[in-house]
Amino acid sequence: MIQRTKVLSVPIISACISESPSIILSATQGSIFTATGVHGIITARSDKDFDDILNSPFTYNFPDGMPAVWVAKAKGAKNIERCFGPYIFAEVMRRTSSMPIKHHLCGGREGVAEALRVACARKFGNNNIVGTYCPPFREMSDDEFRELGREIKAKGADVVWIGISTPKQEKFASRLLPFCGARAIITVGAAFDYHTDSIRPAPSWIQNIGMEWFFRLSMEPKRLWRRYAEIVPKFILLGILDIFAARFRANP
């Protein structure tokens, strides 16, 4: 039984990176897995459709950032560690390289998914990528999702990876799920860019102290400053209140 701990409104599973392949491959057919951090947790508070996806019993939200891990631990979660989307991707690719598990990649700019297919063979020894797809920069129709699902199903993909951005990727996964017949759809954010070396990862010590957001902000200040100016103060305040509320309920 996988333990879930609500961080604000989002149920986060207690997991570590090494467990991610077995959790994913043993889940119910047609499950969605997300790598959810502060951005997703705060966005879910004002986006009901997104919140409904994250709260579905068939959705499993890995803790993508250290702040989510800290709040979950303070509320009693055990055996939990940061499960960064790119690390989940790497661990699953390594573990399934010699297994009959087929993967399909959806995301990135034109050519990124194809570059990732090559990177998977080179970095992880995984040659089981059966298809790639670059989504358009617009809302897709149901017919387009149906056609993409047919293509994925025809190629026999067991796992579909979505690398766009939150919350677009989770909504994309939810719409695609009924058509593709995959065992699991996994949203991993910037994993496509990380493993094709388009993005430089933060040093481990910065990740471990929960400051990767600041590292990314320093890399892309014009694009990210508004996002982090809103979500970081909100999460600090709401996270503290969430911890105190949980402790009050436990010891009224």
Q: Give residue-wise pLDDT tens across range 146-176.
A: 999 999 999 999 999 999 989 999 999 999 9
Name residue 170's amino acid: E
What is the pairing mode between strands 4-7 and 10-13?
antiparallel
88 close to 17: Cβ distance less than 8 angstroms:
yes
Q: At residue 202, does pLDDT exceed 80?
A: no
pTM above 0.85, yes or no: yes
Give the pLDDT of residue 222: 78
Q: Are strands 184-187 and 129-133 parallel, antiparallel or unpaired?
A: unpaired
Task: Encode 191-214: b = buried (16+ Cβ within 10 Å), e = exposed.
Answer: bbbbbbeebebbeeeebeebbbbe
Over residues 103-115, the mean pLDDT reads: 92
How far is Cα 243 from Cα 237, in angstroms, rounded to an integer?
A: 10
Q: What is the pLDDT of residue 213?
A: 72
Q: Which domains does the chain have, with CATH numbers?
A: 4-195 (3.40.50)
CB atoms within 10 A of CB 219: 12
94-104 burial string, b = 16+ CB within 10 Å, else e?
Answer: ebbeeeebbbb
State the pLDDT confidence band at 252, using cuts at 50, 70 and 90. low
SS3 7: strand
- DSSP conformation class of 76: T
- Give the integer Cα–Cα distance in Å for 204 and 84: 12
pLDDT at 172 (0 to 100): 96
CA within 13 Å, CB half, 19 = 14
Whether the per-residue pLDDT at 214 is higher than 80: the answer is no
Average pLDDT (116-127) is 96
Of residues 91, 90, 88, 109, the one with CA closest to residue 37: 88
pLDDT mean over 95-118: 94
Start-to-end CA span in the chain (Å): 28
Helices (H), 96-220: 112-124, 142-154, 168-180, 191-195, 204-208, 212-219
Name the least confident of 26-30, 126-130, 209-213, 235-239: 209-213
> Who wins on pLDDT, 129 or 225?
129
